[in-house]
Amino acid sequence: MRVPLSWLREFVEVPAEATPEDVLAALVSVGFEEEDVHRFDLSGPIVVGEVLEFVEEPQSNGKTIRWCQVRVADGEGTDDAPAVRGIVCGANNFFAGDKVVVT
């Protein structure tokens, strides 16, 4: 099971200076098993885009992909007209007008 350290801190008193490795060592010392520690460090700025429109296209495997037009303010366009990217996505939990993270 994956447990974010922030979630664990809601239920257990964890010292503020404790690292994930410290918490892992404490859990292992009382009998829990560990498989891995995953860090989710950001390596750059987060770019946000707005979904302008999308077209759903059924695939031969029974799934549907969306061909999306996303307005992205990441320096590729101008201040008056941010760049619009064509993005293929398999998710279906968003709509035109939603803000999304673009990589």
Query: Using one digit for the tens of pLDDT, what is the confidence trace for 39-51?
Result: 777 677 778 999 9
The number of domains in the chain is 2
Query: Using one digit for the tens of pLDDT, what is the confidence trace for 12-48?
Result: 898 989 888 898 899 899 998 888 877 777 677 778 9
Closest CA to 89 of 61, 47, 63, 48: 63
Do 83 and 54 reside in the same domain of the chain? yes
Q: What is the DSSP string of 22-69?
A: HHHHHHHHTT------------S--EEEEEEEEEEEE-TTS-EEEEEE
Do 23 and 6 reside in the same domain of the chain? yes
Please tell me the distance from the alpha carbon of residue 103 to that of residue 84, in angstroms, as a whole number. Answer: 13
Q: Indicate the pTM of the whole model.
A: 0.55
Please tell me the distance from the alpha carbon of residue 54 to that of residue 56, in angstroms, as a whole number. Answer: 7
Q: What CATH number does residue 97 fall under?
A: 2.40.50
Whole-number pLDDT of residue 75:
57
Do 51 and 96 reside in the same domain of the chain? yes
